Amino acid sequence: MIEAKQEGLRFSMVAGEVSGDLLASLMMRGLIERFDHASFEGIGGPQMNALGFKSLWSYKKLAVRGYVEVLKHYREIVGIRAQFFKNCMKQPPDVFIGIDAPDFNLHLAHLLKRQGVLCVQFVCPSIWAWRAKRVHKIAQSVGHVLCLFPFEPKLLAQHGIEATFVGHPLAQVIPDEADPIQARKSLGLPTQGPLVALLPGSRQSEIEHMTRRFLLAAKDMHKVKPELRFVLPTPSFAVAHVQALLRQTQMDSLCTLLVGRSHACLAACDVALVASGTASLEAALFKKPMVIAYHMNELSWQIIKRQRLQAWVGLPNILCEEFVVPELLQSECTPENLAHETLKWFHQPQRVEALVSRFKALHRLLKQDTPKLCTEALQALLDRAKTAAPPTAARPSALPSSHTPTK
């Protein structure tokens, strides 16, 4: 039973990309309802800001993926982290919550934890997929992990790390049964005819590496299946760049470009072509057949490839523990291959039916009251901290300049 509300708690948060903004905003709803006069500040996005979050920096500053790509922004990212730490030390928060972005957040949490700040990581780093040694960094940096997937707490417990499965917020946000006709109407799209959603990613590096490939694949698909139409949601900062790519690939008359609206696009489409990441899970929760693709700087790929622990990269395949949808990565991520695998879904109705059944079961598993579970876990941590002896604060230390924060 939760006790009386605590007033005036200060929550410091860092969300490193669009998906983190969504996750944090859902958690904030539970915290706002639970804690009177709570305040929230740090690094966030528009959905967090709409709930009263004070963004000291935009999440776009951290939305970089890949070793080489991060190196290009290294000095700026390290500078932001150093200033963030100094700000926290001026008036320490009651709780620091890192939302995903593990390399940035765990390093920052490690420093804050040494100063007596209660630190929590929301989204377990994918130690079950690659870079398993990060589990030691997790243990050193945070007191609790809020996990999106049910198998993660048991894995973390083996290393002495407390964790709570809170469900995946997207499973609560995305309806069990989406109405594709209504979604098409809301987007101003024809209600009839086959539609492919193109989701090349929301990070600048993903947009640069993936969008042209996706558009060329769409062009190849249209040659084979002329009745196909395409829809492409993109972040506002990338609109001009994507518009130029549409003209260059002569796809501007066949592909509808939208600012945001990715969920409506997934609800509306028949098949999705998606970059590996959160979008692939979103497509699964919308029960859509898909092709998962990814391409990055070759050096970044070689480094990551050596650290992979599983055969799968896409979240739908990882959670189903088999290749239920195709993955085309790096050298296989060609427009020709993407077009071929995407078109196959239109000619395999039994395969689509079986996939939809798997995704319905996955949706049921992940659908939990995430805001409530997050809030209860944080309340328990705060109650325990109140009864524990105050830690001996160490002298604030400088941020090591040699640490490279990768996403």
Tens-digit pLDDT profile for residues 287-322: 999 999 987 666 665 556 555 545 667 889 988 888
Q: Give the burial string for 125-136 (b: 16+ CB within 10 Å, else e).
A: bbbbebbeebbe
Cα separations in angstroms, 407 against 15, 68, 112, 216, 402 = 12, 11, 20, 28, 16
Q: Tens digits of per-residue pLDDT, 71-82?
A: 555 577 787 888
Rounded-to-integer distance, Cα 57 and Cα 42, Å: 7
Predicted confidence band of residue 324 (pLDDT cuts 50, 70, 90):
very high
Domains and CATH numbers, the chain: 10-167+368-387 (3.40.50.2000), 174-366 (3.40.50.2000)
Predicted confidence band of residue 129 (pLDDT cuts 50, 70, 90):
low
Q: What is the mean pLDDT of residues 262-268?
A: 96
CB 185 within 8 A of CB 191: yes
pLDDT of residue 402: 35
Q: Which helix (H) or strand (E) holds 343?
A: helix 335-344
Positive or negative torsion for Cα 151, 154, 157, 163: positive
With vertex at residue 199, the alpha carbon angle to CA 238 and CA 184, rounded to the nearest 5 degrees, is 100
Burial class (CB in 10 A: 0-12, 13-18, 19+), 341: buried
Tell whether pTM > 0.85: no
Predicted confidence (pLDDT) at residue 67 exceeds the cutoff of 60? no
Segment of 3-17, 36-50, 307-321, 376-390 carrying the highest mean pLDDT: 36-50
Q: Tens digits of per-residue pLDDT, 25-46?
A: 989 999 999 998 999 999 998 9
pLDDT of residue 72: 58
Cα separations in angstroms, 215 against 179, 250, 273, 341, 374 = 26, 9, 10, 15, 39
Report how far apart the first and last C-alpha atoms of the chain are (Å, whole number).
38
Taking residue 257's Cβ as centre, other Cβ atoms within 10 Å add up to: 18
Predicted confidence (pLDDT) at residue 260 exceeds the cutoff of 50? yes
Predicted confidence (pLDDT) at residue 405 exceeds the cutoff of 60? no
CB 135 within 8 A of CB 127: yes
| 102-114 and 74-90 helices, crossing angle to 10° | 30
Q: Tens digits of per-residue pLDDT, 160-186?
A: 999 999 999 889 889 999 999 999 999
According to DSSP, the residues that pair with 292 across neighbouring strands are 274, 327
pLDDT of residue 342: 97
CB 33 within 8 A of CB 42: no
Residue-level length of the chain: 407
Q: Tens digits of per-residue pLDDT, 228-259?
A: 999 999 988 899 999 999 999 999 999 999 99
Predicted confidence (pLDDT) at residue 5 exceeds the cutoff of 60? no
Edge-to-edge strands, sheet with 163-165: 54-58, 39-44, 10-15, 95-99, 118-122, 144-147, 163-165
Closest C-alpha among 18, 14, 12 to residue 80: 14
Predicted confidence (pLDDT) at residue 139 exceeds the cutoff of 70? yes
Predicted confidence (pLDDT) at residue 192 exceeds the cutoff of 90? yes
According to DSSP, the residues that pair with 259 across neighbouring strands are 234
Longest dimension (CA), the chain: 70
Q: Supply 90's token pair.
A: 């001026």
Q: What is the mean pLDDT of residues 135-164?
A: 92
Q: Tens digits of per-residue pLDDT, 197-209?
A: 999 988 877 888 8
